[in-house]
Structure 1
Amino acid sequence: MAGNTAFMIAGAGLAGAKAAETLRAEGFDGPVVLLGDERERPYERPPLSKGYLMGTSELEGIYAHPPHWYAEHDVELRLGTTVTGIDPAGHTVALDDGSRHGYAKLLLTTGSAPLPLPVPGADFGGVHYLRRLADSDALKETFRAATRIVVIGGGWIGLETTAAARAAGVEVTLLEMAELPLLRVLGREVAQVFAALHTDHGVTLRCGVRVAEITGTDGRADGVRLADGTRIPADAVVVGVGIAPCSGLAEVAGLDVDNGVLVDAQLRSSHPDIHAAGDVANAFHPLLGRHLRVEHWANALHQPQTAARAMLGQDVSYDRLPYFFTDQYDLGMEYTGHVEPDGYDQVVFRGNPEAREFIAFWLADGRVLAGMNVNIWDVTDPIRALVTSGRRIDPGRLADTSVPLADLLDAPGTAA
């Protein structure tokens, strides 16, 4: 492996692959080493709970690059390799084979891992998490064989997995601790849309419940018991109760860690030669004026490009608004911006929520914090402009579909 002139990337997912791509695109001709603990070359994760899981997209479409790309661009891709330690002072990393290798710059793109469900029976066979390609393959097989499943957790992974299971003809009971799925993320007004979407597609939705245990026979899950004693039989159980950043390496190495690796707007950690990007990075966002850790595909796609340029000494900062999307049944949506739970005072709907064709805007003091377009397309740019402007927008005009979004910033009644 290359020595201490190398730019090393720990984590060979989409973020790591995009960082390597950017280093080469920016003209860096030194050694680039990309280390990943999976045996698969870098791939994108959204298809694992969407098209690939449903069988509507092919395996080859999930990969970040063709197999020959790494050799052609002189990127040393080492799969099945785990980084076990970092010595920031010595500029070295330790690997699981016992070797130690030097670097000039290090980028951490170690991602995140599913939170385990802390109840008895969580280690039974037939209990599934969804993070890696092998997990998605296992779920596809489960959906072919199962009649009924229980999904624990009403976040994005839980809802997308539920939609895929229903498309495969599987009966689904979805369990959520909060009053509604996505309540913390979207607030009550919009969370109700997703609750209705799933019940309209035959999902048994049980909110405000707690799981006491996963029941099983001969070491294999056969149901879920709730805290009130109710038992829900199932052929398999899917757990989607959140993810945590894989920041243990950084913490042991003495880097500043708080809900991920703390980095500045240049994605530089508390050590000047170590950067972080993607799920693991808790980055200062210049526009929002705070640190933010984003767990979505767009962040893994774009943030490493800034990190790579910063590693090359360029004067850059990451200021893109958070963006994510989902596809469930006949509903497709895009979300642009960021809203803290209870961080807004008004939701304005533009269009028809009942028909699931609308844009929802979250406002605070008349300013648009985020917008979500549902089954309405090609509006991300004007939504982004409304958010980044920081200007007060007349809610009545915002809701008026006869007023083009692009005209709102120039409309009478818009105040700075």
Structure 2
Amino acid sequence: MKNGVVIVGAGHAGVQAAASLREEGYDGPVILLGDESELPYHKPPLSKTFIKDPAAQPQPLRGEVFYSGHSIDFRPGSLVEGIDVAAQRLALAGGQDLAYDHLVLATGSRPRVLPLQGSDLAGVLSLRSVADARLIRDHSTASEDVVVIGGGFIGLEIAATLAAGGRRVTVVEALDRLLGRAVAPLIAEHVRKRLEASGVRILLGTTIERIEGDNGHVAGAMTSAGERLPAKMVVIGIGVVPNVELAQAAGLAVANGVRIDGRMRSSVENILAVGDNANFRHWQTGADVRLESVQNATDQAKLAARTIVGHDGDYTAVPWFWSDIGDMKLQMVGLTMGSDRQVLSGDPSENRFSVYHFIADRLAAIESVNRPADHMLGRKMLGLGFSPTAEMVAGGAEALKAALAALPVQG
């Protein structure tokens, strides 16, 4: 334990891993390496409140005093260039190296690059960091026309926020529906209609052929249908790729993320991976997945800390996620893959409803729009392994609460 734990990445997963090590009683050195100069911050607000408020500042995950008060050696602006697995050392930019007993890779992910003519023009942006969000915010003040490429969660959050601020926003999505098949068709269609009613133009089944510029700055985007969309800013949001280069170069098993076991260990036992960059066999579906959510990053980091201090136990956290798009709070719990039956609760015309996903009679997931009670009950039901009947779902929250209350007490 003389060299302690080194954590690479100071996002939600990395900061939680450091905090959880102390909560679990680990008393060795804990070094947290971040590649940004900022104090670690919350990322979800960047696509919403941050870009619409010129005075908004990043929301710290923990106050500065937390790190010093818990003997966490936080080192901002640290770039890791390599891992020597045999020597248990990291090579840092600038020629330094750093020894470790355990290494936690919380390197996250980065926006997927779109190889387009004109993508290097000023005003062509993507969002992953607070620096990116500042650029989007700054450019939006002088951009009446904005094109968002990609109809996923991040793209739609940005589109809704900018449209609410008076911008003319066009979303261009290559698929025939929004949200990349990540939600039920009913919810995807509901989101499309609400966004269009708020003034966002949405082009489905369409791609951008090239981005056009004027004096080095974006001026428009040409679609596959031959339409020229005026734009002073183009935001690319076509998904992310996991940051696995360090792990791959070090010889760790990698497949759409760093391959980990149920205790967050990579193919090298004293190197763990958590968060967006980790790929694991999910307990609920039996499939290999890589989950991009604050919940997953946080829960995996907690378990990684427990693994390091010697506790047993595999990862069994119920996955959940949320997204705020205009006047819609989307909340998802569970995983829909493999589901073969859906039950609707609530009325989409009221902008408040949920879709319950089942595999045969087993509850697999719930997707909600402005129905937080359904979401919270879903987290309880999936955590307990309880599956309601269609009649219980039709009875609403009260019927589900009663069914849960009638369950035998777990002893």
TM more than 0.5: yes
C-alpha distance in structure 2 between counterparts of 1:245 and 1:111, whole Å: 6
C-alpha distance in structure 2 between counterparts of 1:88 and 1:12, whole Å: 21
Counterpart among 102, 107, 117 of residue 105 in structure 1: 102
Provide the alpha-carbon RMSD of the alignment. Answer: 2.0
Q: Superposition pairs for residues 391-406 of structure 1, below 5 Å? A: 393-401=388-396, 404-406=399-401
Partner of 1:368: 363
Which sits farther off after the overlay, 11-20 or 49-58? 49-58
C-alpha distance in structure 2 between counterparts of 1:56 and 1:184, whole Å: 34
Conserved 8 A contact 2:347-2:353: yes
- 2:30 is equivalent to residue 63 of structure 1: no
Q: What's the CA shift string for 1:172-222, capped at 9, x where partnerless? A: 000001111114101322211111111111111100001111111122111
Conserved 8 A contact 1:398-1:408: no
Q: What's the CA shift string for 1:11-43, capped at 9, x where partnerless? A: 111211111111112221111111111111211
Closer, same or farther: CA 263–35 of 1 in aligned 2, 3 Å: same
Partner of 2:29: 31
One-letter code of the match for 2:268? Answer: H
TM-score normalised by structure 2 residue count? 0.94
Q: What's the CA shift string for 1:113-136, capped at 9, x where partnerless? A: 000111111111100100000111
Secondary structure in 1 aligned to 2:373?
Answer: coil
One-letter code of the match for 2:369? Answer: V
Partner of 2:71: 74
Q: What's the CA shift string for 1:314-369, capped at 9, x where partnerless? A: 113221121111112221131101122xx322221100112111121122213221
Counterpart among 6, 9, 14 of residue 7 in structure 2: 9
Partner of 2:349: 354
Partner of 1:414: none
One-letter code of the match for 2:183? Answer: L
Conserved 8 A contact 1:365-1:392: no
One-letter code of the match for 2:317? Answer: R
Partner of 1:50: 48
Secondary structure in 2 aligned to 1:268?
Answer: coil
Q: Which runs of 5+ in 2 are unaligned?
A: 407-411
Secondary structure in 1 aligned to 2:241?
Answer: strand
Partner of 2:409: none
Q: Superposition pairs for residues 219-230 of structure 1, below 5 Å? A: 219-230=216-227
Partner of 2:144: 147
Partner of 1:246: 243
Closer, same or farther: CA 402–369 of 1 in aligned 2, 3 Å: closer
Secondary structure in 2 aligned to 1:354?
Answer: helix
* Post-superposition offset of 1:285: 2.6
Conserved 8 A contact 2:2-2:28: no
Conserved 8 A contact 2:183-2:367: no
Closer, same or farther: CA 172–70 of 1 in aligned 2, 3 Å: same
Partner of 2:381: 386
Conserved 8 A contact 1:175-1:207: yes
Conserved 8 A contact 1:275-1:307: yes
Q: Which runs of 5+ in 1 are unaligned?
A: 412-416
Secondary structure in 1 aligned to 2:377?
Answer: helix
Conserved 8 A contact 1:143-1:168: no
C-alpha distance in structure 1 between counterparts of 2:5 and 2:386, whole Å: 42
Conserved 8 A contact 1:285-1:292: yes
C-alpha distance in structure 1 between counterparts of 2:62 and 2:113, whole Å: 31
* Post-superposition offset of 1:57: 8.8
Partner of 2:205: 208
* Post-superposition offset of 1:288: 3.0
Q: Superposition pairs for residues 215-294 of structure 1, below 5 Å? A: 215-294=212-291
Closer, same or farther: CA 137–197 of 1 in aligned 2, 3 Å: same
Partner of 2:316: 319
Counterpart among 304, 313, 318 of residue 307 in structure 1: 304
Closer, same or farther: CA 236–381 of 1 in aligned 2, 3 Å: closer
Q: Superposition pairs for residues 85-164 of structure 1, below 5 Å? A: 85-164=82-161
Give me the identity figure in percent. 36
- 2:139 is equivalent to residue 173 of structure 1: no
Conserved 8 A contact 2:2-2:29: no
C-alpha distance in structure 2 between counterparts of 1:285 and 1:102, whole Å: 32
